[in-house]
Amino acid sequence: ACGTGVTAVALANAIAKNIKGKNETAIKVLGGNLNIKYNYDGETFTDIFLEGPAKFVFEGHMEINN
């Protein structure tokens, strides 16, 4: 799941529906359920948090030569 996209959708929804105050939006995605918490005063978003499951999906190593 793309946390950035999910967060953008939740905030755009708040703007479109004029949802002000301290809020929490739940969005179901392929990777699980994500919760976006935020505060919106009608102009500015503050205290934006994305919560949900995290999974280790990749490990890599890179050698850098000068």
Summarize pLDDT for 13-66 with one digit per residue, the tens.
Answer: 999 999 999 999 999 998 889 999 999 999 999 999 999 988 888 899 999 997
**Which band of pLDDT confidence, cut at 50, 70 and 90, is reported for residue 2?**
confident
28-54: b (≥16 Cβ within 10 Å) or e = eeeeeebebebebeeeeeeeeeeebee
